[in-house]
């Protein structure tokens, strides 16, 4: 490893039951602006990114009952769902995490919202908090 893999906090994700109410609460309480909203069908979630300086609060709500976020809400209620760190190269960061003997949710990077490339580290390895690695833009082609 040549330097720190994590360059910034990209977002802190919070599971909520009413995403409109949560967006409104951040706006009214903190004057925080909605930067992006997206349905991520693959994950069965709707997400809203509320800007905080160069990072975001990501509000997550399920779009179907079998979505992982629906199961999370059922089991644990609303609250912190995961922390996402920005990395320069998601594949390289994920490899370093795996080489160090950690469990991962995603064996290879996959597309995230906003056209990013992401991978999740298993919370069993990361002290009980789901960790996401986020690279801006699509994964580069590798041969
Ligand atoms: Co996320």
CA 85 / ligand 1 centre spacing (Å): 9
- In this prediction, what percent of the chain has a pLDDT beyond 70? 97
Average pLDDT over residues 39-63: 95
CATH class of 6-135: alpha beta
- Strands (E) in the chain, as ranges, are 6-15, 34-40, 45-52, 55-62, 79-87, 110-111, 117-121, 130-135
> Pick the residue with more confidence: 6 or 3?
6
pLDDT band at 139 (very low <50, low <70, confident <90, very high): confident
Q: Give tens-digit pLDDT for 88-114.
A: 999 999 999 999 999 999 999 999 988
Phi-psi sector, 53: left (phi>0), alpha (psi -120 to 50), beta: left
When pLDDT is cut at 50, 70 and 90, the band that residue 2 belongs to is low
* CB contact at 8 A, 60 and 81: yes
CA–centroid distance, residue 84 to ligand 1 (Å): 6
Q: Which pTM does this prediction carry?
A: 0.92
Q: Residue 82 forms beta bridges with which residues? A: 13, 130
Residue 88 Cα to ligand 1 middle (Å)? 16
Output the pLDDT for position 1.
Answer: 56
In the predicted structure, residue 53 carries a pLDDT above the cut 90: yes
């Amino acid at each position: 490893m040549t330097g720190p893999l994590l360059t910034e906090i990209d977002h802190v994700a919070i599971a909520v039951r009413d995403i409109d109410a949560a967006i409104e609460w951040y706006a009214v309480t903190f004057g925080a602006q909605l930067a992006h909203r997206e349905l991520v069908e693959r994950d069965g979630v709707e997400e809203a990114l509320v800007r905080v300086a160069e990072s975001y609060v990501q509000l997550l709500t399920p779009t179907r009952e079998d979505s992982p976020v629906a199961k999370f809400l059922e089991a644990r209620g609303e609250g912190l769902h995961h922390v996402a760190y920005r990395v320069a190269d998601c594949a390289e960061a994920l490899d370093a995490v795996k080489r160090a003997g950690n469990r991962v949710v995603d064996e290879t990077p996959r597309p995230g919202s906003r056209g990013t490339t992401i991978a999740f580290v298993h919370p069993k390895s990361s002290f009980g908090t789901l960790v996401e690695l986020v690279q801006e833009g699509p994964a580069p082609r590798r041969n």
